[in-house]
Structure 1
Amino acid sequence: MKIQDLQDGDLIFTVGASEIAAAIRAATGSYSHVAIFFNGEIFHATHEKGVVNQDLSDFLQDEDVGYDVYRYPAIEAEAVFKRAKLHLGMPYNFSFYPQSNGFYCSEYIAEILPIFDTIPMQFGDEENQISGFWQEYYRELGLDVPLNQPGTNPSQLAQSRKLIYKGELHD
């Protein structure tokens, strides 16, 4: 899919190469991040700055690997855009706990585009119910791992039957 074919409300799913991106994929599936496109900009929740909007070109330089585009055909783009802007500046939800202040990426998308169900969160890998990465991550936060708490993840959102896969994004 070409960049100029993006439409307002398109969801862009990425496969990052960072350690946390790999841990997210190991626990949940193909994707490690999700963002939404409006007016040449990307709106998403980032570790570094919380909920932000940025130029598409900057987003494409920041992310590590592939970009897949999905579309929700019944989107009311203007209403979703208004909700997306309401949350700008909110902090990142590092704990991934439901009802925490701020948002992680798929939590933000599910909030502004409320078509997704929550599922029990998973933090395992091929060998453990809770991987070593997540054990250390939550030890440093001083929290229990929110295993099976209600939540979302990018791969789960991408699997929604309400979305249509439009293709890999390229120039």
Structure 2
Amino acid sequence: MTNSYYLLSILLAISLINSCKQRPEFSIQEGDLLFQDVDCGPFCESIEAVTEGVNQYNFSHIGLVMESANGDLKVMEAVSAGVVLTPIDSFLNRSLDAFNKPKVVVGRVKPQLSHLIPEAISFIHTKMNAEYDPYFDIDNDKYYCSELIHLAFKAANNNEPIFKEQPMTFKSPETNETFAIWEVYFRNLDYDIPEGQPGLNPGGMSRSSYINIVHHYGTPSKKVAL
């Protein structure tokens, strides 16, 4: 009986090891949405203060995985340089958690809407090298990170959005005063703060009922209870 027990234990251990070995690693794919917790100082902190991501994560940036002209997967993102394609490793390693893992969570459009991805990407191809939208104006021909992805899927879905526009706020939830960083920012642009105007943010998009969260590369920071 003892020998049989030990033999059974060994076989079970081998089976578990093989099962772990056979478990497929996560494979990123075209159309995936990369929600990122970027450490960019007061700007990112002010965004995270007034928005909330899935599981209360702090997200201040979003990119979309798509093929480049040579067939490599890269991340399309709208940054200060405009609409660009960034190598995936460069994107992931931009901001790391305490264990040196990327503070990035992957969202994937639900299967019933996956047919929208090719047309959304075609829309984005027409916007490559467009200027960044420093005004957060959803009606001009410039784009910030959330805006372009939202408009791409909206265009692919017969003008029906899958990400919901919300009134933007640049005010501290604690004081109801505009963050000083935004006052300076818009003053330098000679532009009125677009308080209450429609817009989008990565946190809100991560909570869309039309996407599934399929992978965590690392652990973004979370909101601290007041």
Normalised by the length of structure 2, the TM-score is 0.69
1:68 partner amino acid: V
The residue number in structure 2 matching 1:45 is: 78
Please say which structure displays the higher CA radius of gyration: 2
Amino acid at match of 2:181: F
One of 63, 67, 86 as aligned partner of 1:35: 63
Name 2:159's counterpart in structure 1: none
Structure 1 residue aligned with 2:49 = 26
The answer for the alignment partner of 1:75 in structure 2 is 114
Contact 1:26 1:124 in 2 (8 A): no
Separation (CA, whole Å) in 2 of partners of 1:129 and 1:85: 39
Identity %: 26
Q: Are the equivalent residues in 2 in contact too, given 1:13–1:35 (CA < 8 A)?
A: yes
8 Å CA contact 1:50, 1:89 repeated in 2? yes
Question: In 2, Cα distance between the equivalents of 1:44 and 1:75?
Answer: 20
- Offset at residue 100 of structure 1 (A): 2.5
Distance 1:164 1:119 in 2: 21
TM-score when scaled to structure 1?
A: 0.90
How far, CA to CA, are the matches of 2:51 and 2:190 in structure 1?
23
Residue type matched to 1:11 in 2?
L
Deviation at 1:120, TM superposition (A): 0.4
The structural deviation recorded for 1:3 is 7.6
Bigger shift: 127-136 or 148-157?
127-136
**Distance across 2 between alignment mates of 1:84 and 1:116:** 16
Q: CA–CA distance in 2 between the matches of 1:129 and 1:160?
A: 28
Superposition pairs for residues 1-171 of structure 1, below 5 Å? 4-19=26-41, 20-29=43-52, 30-39=58-67, 40-47=73-80, 49-61=81-93, 63-65=94-96, 66-73=103-110, 74-76=113-115, 77-114=117-154, 115-125=162-172, 126-169=174-217
> What whole-Å deviation, never above 9, does each CA across 1:57-113 have from its counterpart, x for those lacking one?
22223x224001011122222222211211100000001123133100000110112
Contact residue 26 and residue 215 of structure 2 kept, 8 A:
no
18-27 or 8-17: which moved more? Answer: 18-27
Counterpart code for 1:36? L
Secondary structure of 2:86's counterpart equals: strand
The count of residues paired between Structure 1 and Structure 2 equals 167
* Unaligned ranges ≥5, structure 2: 1-23, 53-57, 68-72, 97-102, 155-161, 219-226
User: Alpha carbons of 1:138 and 1:69: their partners in 2 closer, same or farther (altered >3 Å)?
Assistant: same
